[in-house]
A and B are shown apart, each in its own frame.
Chain A
């Protein structure tokens, strides 16, 4: 019912139109950055590291780089979309339409999810020819990718709805998400870390998603991937509740 409702579908299609209309700035630059990661970390650094857990370094980091791109892409998409709509007040058109706050939060979150998944898939597609990578469990990869993208897109929706200044959005991206992504085991195995850092990494949600994506792609992981799916599912539910609450109660929305 919620998903079949025309108002909801319209907002979702508007969200998709938004990032496809500005694809030169929303899809290409992050993809290029990821290719740079692969070149710098994979080709240059990979010549020294050779292998991790029996996997060539470039192949080892590819799923993580794709996941990192997916996470940042989905979070940035919805946070900017909601914040922009709020700042320029065109969100009012949506807020007064016959749609529930839950539908509004879901449409923004799913729009960002789709962009994140497209960006993650883009990195895999661009990187695959260099490493000849195959995907061991495609269904699992899609599930973990979609859940991760939804989680961070919902967080972005919440951030966009709560933000009152542009700096709040940049803060989330550059001070929280980016460091977590870099420290999320994209470029190394946690087994290579001292015990204290290894334990700290377990509290990083991006680590769990990267690790599960690596398992789905290469069948190599630091943790058992199946409990990770449950963890990411729980995170997705919590993040979406936050997004729903923020659309309903965020500052400068319905006052």
Chain B
């Protein structure tokens, strides 16, 4: 999956499942936790969604908190995990 596809996968899911009723324009730079768009349960669901769509596990062991909570950063983490795992 390319960076663009991954970003779109995340943004589409967040738009459907966001926890705030205020309309928010979601971009690659959108911060997800402090903005109230997602809570920790939302992140669990989002990661499960990415893993189910891509077939690989996202490794959060060394993830940077600042990177994790931003669309682009989470996307990068997912792509790093994809690169580290053998093709299914």
Q: Do A and B come from one complex?
A: no
The interface of chain B, by Cβ under 8 A from chain A, is: none
The interface of chain A, by Cβ under 8 A from chain B, is: none
